[in-house]
A and B are shown apart, each in its own frame.
Chain A
Amino acid sequence: MTMNVTQCLLQSGDAPREISDYQVGVPRWCNGCGDNAILTAMQRLCRDNDLAPERTVFVSGIGCSSRLPHYMNTYGFHGLHGRSLPIAEGVKMSRPDLKVFVSTGDGDCLSIGAAHWIHALRYNMDLTVLLHDNRIYGLTKKQASPTSPIGTKSNTTPKGSYLAALNPLSVTLGVANVSFVAQVVDWIPELLYEVIAAGYRHKGLSFIRIIQRCPEFMPGLFDPWMQDPQRTLLLRHPNGVVPSAELSRTYRNQVDHDPRDIDAARRIASSEDPIPVGVLYWDPDVPCYEDTRHAGALRRPEDVRRGLEAELDKFTIRPEAHG
């Protein structure tokens, strides 16, 4: 008699978790806000991977995006503006056994936290980083962000923003030790999930830029792309994401792109229109900083005592009186 995996799990006494096991509170985001889609994808990801809620930590900074941990029934750390990455790195270094996700926004990650963004890529710790990029500051009520398109009228740029938008993908792809870069949009739920899932599977820092609607302050910004599927370019590859047949019926503009090819990734990254969606870059062989530093090594009082005594020996000036 054979049993399938599900039956095995059921018999072992642990009922598989449901989406509701990861839900808590009522999201306070606006109607139509892309954060809702990201939250749903994350809860599904936890369910599908049966993540133990107590061994899962969602870390965030400050901004609309960073409310996400409050709606996950896991451990969460709603930190400081710009500092989600170093907090998450500390969590991971202290406890490499925990699954750590990071939610950060375009202001949080690319502006006030820009230094941490660059260096987090270099550390390449095993974190799944979601850049909720709605191209505007929402929580502080509409100021231009680093990814606001030039000419964006906002409360700090009433005549239109002055500077060209920063491209987070090309910057990311220029940093040493980058190991996973993807882009997706909030309005294609299936792809959103698949891309995040690919990032989750990657051991190392997965940087996922999620282009996200802000119906309150950037209404209609992405309408042209939503109305014309041809303006979305699906990156297709077994090393990345392979769109389903159903999805391919709508999104026919597809290209084979092996995410192991960083030069091709850099070319694709610079495209604003069509919006490339999928895994741009993947290198599974970049070492993780927590492994290099031997995080989580078992440590006993005896080790500390021995280490301390060995050092004290070096400073002891009257050894004859010792012991």
Chain B
Amino acid sequence: MTMQVARDAGPAPAMTKTVTRLDEHIVEIISDSGEGAQRCGQAFAGIAARSGNGIWTVEIIPAEIQPPARSVAGASGNRIRLASKPVANGGDDVDLVVAFNEQVLIGRVLAGELRAGATILLEDMWRAHRDPSIAASYATTVDDLRARGFRVLEIPMETECRKLVPDPRRGKNMFVLGVLCSIYSFGLDVAREQVALTFGKKDPKVIATNVKLLEAGFEWAEAKCDFKYEIPTMAVAESQVVMTGNAALALGVLASGMEICAMYPITPATSASHYLSEIFERVGGIVHQAEDEIAACTFAIGASYAGKCAVTITSGPGFSLKQEAIGLAVMAEIPLVVVNVQRGGPSTGQPTKPEQGDLLAALFGTHGDAPKVVIATSGIEDCFYTMITARKIAETFNTVVIVLSDASLATAQQPFPRPVFSEEWLAPPVDQSAVAPGAKPYDWDATTGVFRRFIPGQPGGMHTVTGLAHDRDSHVAYDHESNEEGLRFRSLKIAALQRTLRCPAVHGEETGDLLVLGWGSTKGAIEEAVDRLRAEGRRVSSLHLRFIQPMPSGIGEIIKGFSRVMTVESNWSDPTDHPLIDADNRRYSALAMLLRSRYLVDVDCWTDVSGRPIKPASVAEALRRKLGEAPR
């Protein structure tokens, strides 16, 4: 029997192939949940990156764990943008999609994700399905897609995989990986290595079976597909790593020398804690899953108070719950790092979808005047290094540092230079030396507001920290001088930090007709849109902010060099074309609001809350529109 199968597969007949060289391509692999499209996508991205392509991946996640099979809303998988140069966002429309059934594909087509004439590789098992309604749906869909101008290739995934494994539902994904490797001209050796890595923890037999499936897919495509693509690869001298934003956050926590992370499960932050749980204990770190978000934050505060700075990781709703505790850390001046991997809000909102909706909550969400540092990560690599910076600032200034990431960075993957460890990243050992006689627990420096806190274990430093107004001795004090002194110094520390910050570089020329400001995950899409407009001869530049509180000096000067200024963000702003909306009541996006108040400039905004990573083409269109308006 086995022999016969082998003969059936036979040597691939010679076939004339058209080979197209491309600068880039966007591929999607989608299936029902649990069929392995995500794993296939990740592996494909890994192969492309190893081969020297620039990549960016976007996870396609249904909202439910087990959505009904073959449902339009149930697509699960991955988008991989592969290019001949580095890319920093998921790009615009899909060029080639592999779908395990026609229903999940319909969802992507209706969402407008496919470019006109895109290639579709579709599992053909449904054509002969015993349920006539399924067979009919499949046939109708294929006809309809062809009528709409898509190139549909039906692939006998099930049939081919059944020759190798009893349950093709597990394994089809590696067959597809083989097909894609053939189409995109990737070598089988790199692909085999990637499969070994993907199933690294499993039985060698599992790896062997999956390699066979990979090879079968490759051979099938070599024999049956009459086209191939080639995306030139880059020669990169330095060692590169490729990982998701949440993995980079977790590794950043480890590299920062923080030792305790307290968290409560919440999407999309949790995968960072999952990964940290796996690796942290090996280096003496602890991930504590607390009973709730408040406990996670107060646990971290207690840990910080008694030793090294601790971190708590959450998403929007959890961030709101932590706000009272954040106020305590601000008031008692205890270092704390809070990571908020933002998602669509308010309330439970869109847990798996990206949005930049929590910027103002990060700055102003705490009751009273609670100055704190807010840093936004703008890429995968930045997720790693930001954690090191955050820990350092929190301990130097005895302050709260809020790190804003979002769902699009959480699951996106991109290569970046492999970090080279430095001991300077780590926190110094906890000070246990005796406190000088007469020293006070809050000896605020008159110029900077900075002081050296006393840590339990330091002889002579005994005092009680409190969230109540207090004097330099940490004694509860209700007199107005003490209260004002505390408010002044807690605020002053932020100014002292601000004096050390450098203004980010302008992307493009220093002057022009339009300056676009952004923060966080939208950096890649904004800069790509700016590049496209500059290539058209438009005088557009962008400035991406990493520190949002405090903002570095120099931004105001940069703004003066442009006749139009706007932000591009992924949060709500009122559209100006609605009859009820005018200059008096328009609600601006978060960064626009901050820039308007600080620089007294008419900063406009364009925002996208589609729940998808922002696309360069949409940004470019918004910029073109803005350029069509009169200058300010």
When distances are taken between beta carbons in the complex, the residues of chain B under 8 Å from A77 are 302, 305, 464-465
When distances are taken between beta carbons in the complex, the residues of chain A under 8 Å from B457 are 54-55, 95, 97-98
A273 to chain B, nearest CB (A): 34
Which of B295, B308, B415, B460: most chain A Cβ within 10 A? B295
- Contact mask for chain B residues 252-295; partner A; CB cutoff 8 A; 1 contact, 0 none: 00110101101000000000000000010111111010111011
Task: Using CB atoms, name the residue of chain A closest to B328.
Answer: A80
Q: When the two chains form their complex, are residues A115 and B291 in contact, meaning their CB atoms are under 8 A apart? A: yes
B130 to chain A, nearest CB (A): 44
The B contact surface, by secondary structure, is mixed
Q: When the two chains form their complex, are residues A94 and B421 in contact, meaning their CB atoms are under 8 A apart? A: no
Q: When the two chains form their complex, are residues A304 and B283 in contact, meaning their CB atoms are under 8 A apart? A: yes
- Contact mask for chain B residues 462-476; partner A; CB cutoff 8 A; 1 contact, 0 none: 111111100000011
Which of A55, A79, A116: most chain B Cβ within 10 A? A79
Q: Pick out which of these stretches binds chain A: B240-248, B402-410, B622-630.
A: B240-248
Task: Using CB atoms, name the residue of chain A closest to B47.
Answer: A317
Q: Which of B241, B284, B304, B328 contacts A297 (CB 8 A)?
A: B284
| Given A301-B426, A309-B421, residue A93 in contact with residue B286 (CB < 8 A) | yes
- Contact mask for chain A residues 258-292; partner B; CB cutoff 8 A; 1 contact, 0 none: 00000000000000000000000000000000000
Q: Which of A53, A74, A83 contacts B294 (CB 8 A)?
A: A83
Tell me if B50 counts as interface (CB < 8 A to partner A): yes
When distances are taken between beta carbons in the complex, the residues of chain B under 8 Å from A301 are 257, 423, 426
Interface residues of A in 281-323 (CB under 8 A from B): 293-295, 297-299, 301, 303-312, 314-319, 321-323
A162 to chain B, nearest CB (A): 27
Tell me if A196 counts as interface (CB < 8 A to partner B): no
- The CA of A87 and the CA of B301, in the complex, are separated in Å by 7
Q: When the two chains form their complex, are residues B463 and A76 in contact, meaning their CB atoms are under 8 A apart? A: yes
Q: When the two chains form their complex, are residues B257 and A304 in contact, meaning their CB atoms are under 8 A apart? A: yes
Task: Using CB atoms, name the residue of chain A closest to B291.
Answer: A119
Q: How many of B's residues come within 8 Å of A, CB to CB?
A: 71
When distances are taken between beta carbons in the complex, the residues of chain A under 8 Å from B49 are 317
Q: When the two chains form their complex, are residues B284 and A312 in contact, meaning their CB atoms are under 8 A apart? A: no
| Given A57-B456, A304-B283, A307-B282, residue A90 in contact with residue B236 (CB < 8 A) | no
Q: When the two chains form their complex, are residues A80 and B300 in contact, meaning their CB atoms are under 8 A apart? A: no
- The CA of A70 and the CA of B419, in the complex, are separated in Å by 46
Tell me if A58 counts as interface (CB < 8 A to partner B): yes
| Given A79-B467, A299-B283, residue A95 in contact with residue B307 (CB < 8 A) | yes
A173 to chain B, nearest CB (A): 19
Tell me if B306 counts as interface (CB < 8 A to partner A): yes
Task: Using CB atoms, name the residue of chain A closest to B48.
Answer: A317
Q: When the two chains form their complex, are residues A318 and B239 in contact, meaning their CB atoms are under 8 A apart? A: yes
- The CA of A297 and the CA of B46, in the complex, are separated in Å by 36
- The CA of A206 and the CA of B468, in the complex, are separated in Å by 28
Q: When the two chains form their complex, are residues A90 and B421 in contact, meaning their CB atoms are under 8 A apart? A: no
| Given A55-B456, A115-B295, A297-B284, residue A80 in contact with residue B241 (CB < 8 A) | no
B332 to chain A, nearest CB (A): 8
Q: When the two chains form their complex, are residues A93 and B421 in contact, meaning their CB atoms are under 8 A apart? A: no
Interface residues of A in 100-133 (CB under 8 A from B): 115-116, 118-119
Q: Which of A69, A86, A94, A319 contacts B290 (CB 8 A)?
A: A86
Which of A53, A95, A303: most chain B Cβ within 10 A? A95
When distances are taken between beta carbons in the complex, the residues of chain B under 8 Å from A58 are 464
Tell me if B349 counts as interface (CB < 8 A to partner A): no
Tell me if B377 counts as interface (CB < 8 A to partner A): no
Q: When the two chains form their complex, are residues A311 and B254 in contact, meaning their CB atoms are under 8 A apart? A: yes
Q: When the two chains form their complex, are residues B456 and A98 in contact, meaning their CB atoms are under 8 A apart? A: yes
- The CA of A321 and the CA of B415, in the complex, are separated in Å by 14
Task: Using CB atoms, name the residue of chain A closest to B461.
Answer: A54
Tell me if A29 counts as interface (CB < 8 A to partner B): no
- The CA of A89 and the CA of B300, in the complex, are separated in Å by 9
- Work out how many contacts link A and B, with CB atoms closer than 8 A: 203
Q: Which of B254, B310, B467 contacts A90 (CB 8 A)?
A: B310
Tell me if A257 counts as interface (CB < 8 A to partner B): no
When distances are taken between beta carbons in the complex, the residues of chain A under 8 Å from B282 are 307, 310
- The CA of A58 and the CA of B419, in the complex, are separated in Å by 42
Interface residues of A in 12-67 (CB under 8 A from B): 24-25, 52-55, 57-59
Q: When the two chains form their complex, are residues A316 and B465 in contact, meaning their CB atoms are under 8 A apart? A: no
Q: Which of B291, B294, B299 contacts A93 (CB 8 A)?
A: B299
When distances are taken between beta carbons in the complex, the residues of chain A under 8 Å from B238 are 318, 321
Tell me if B521 counts as interface (CB < 8 A to partner A): no
When distances are taken between beta carbons in the complex, the residues of chain A under 8 Å from B21 are none
Tell me if A75 counts as interface (CB < 8 A to partner B): yes
Tell me if B458 counts as interface (CB < 8 A to partner A): yes
Tell me if A88 counts as interface (CB < 8 A to partner B): yes
Q: When the two chains form their complex, are residues A54 and B458 in contact, meaning their CB atoms are under 8 A apart? A: yes
- The CA of A85 and the CA of B295, in the complex, are separated in Å by 8
When distances are taken between beta carbons in the complex, the residues of chain A under 8 Å from B110 are none
- Contact mask for chain B residues 44-67; partner A; CB cutoff 8 A; 1 contact, 0 none: 001001100000000000000000
| Given A57-B306, A75-B462, A94-B260, residue A119 in contact with residue B288 (CB < 8 A) | no
When distances are taken between beta carbons in the complex, the residues of chain B under 8 Å from A218 are none
Q: When the two chains form their complex, are residues A295 and B418 in contact, meaning their CB atoms are under 8 A apart? A: no
- The CA of A97 and the CA of B300, in the complex, are separated in Å by 17
When distances are taken between beta carbons in the complex, the residues of chain B under 8 Å from A314 are 197
- The CA of A242 and the CA of B72, in the complex, are separated in Å by 72
A244 to chain B, nearest CB (A): 33
| Given A55-B457, A305-B421, A307-B254, residue A87 in contact with residue B298 (CB < 8 A) | yes
A-B contact pairs, 19 of them (CB 8 A): A69-B464, A70-B464, A70-B466, A76-B465, A79-B302, A83-B294, A86-B291, A90-B260, A90-B304, A119-B290, A299-B283, A301-B423, A303-B283, A304-B283, A310-B282, A315-B247, A319-B239, A321-B236, A321-B237
Known: A90-B301, A293-B288, A315-B247. 20 other contacts (CB 8 A): A25-B475, A70-B476, A72-B464, A78-B465, A79-B298, A80-B298, A80-B324, A80-B467, A83-B295, A86-B302, A87-B302, A89-B288, A90-B260, A95-B306, A97-B457, A115-B292, A298-B284, A308-B419, A315-B241, A318-B50
Name A residues whose Cβ lies closer than 8 Å to a Cβ of B.
Answer: 24-25, 52-55, 57-59, 69-70, 72-80, 83, 85-95, 97-98, 115-116, 118-119, 293-295, 297-299, 301, 303-312, 314-319, 321-323
**Nearest 10 CB-CB pairs, A to B?**
A90-B302, A76-B464, A299-B284, A322-B239, A307-B283, A90-B303, A87-B302, A94-B303, A119-B291, A94-B307
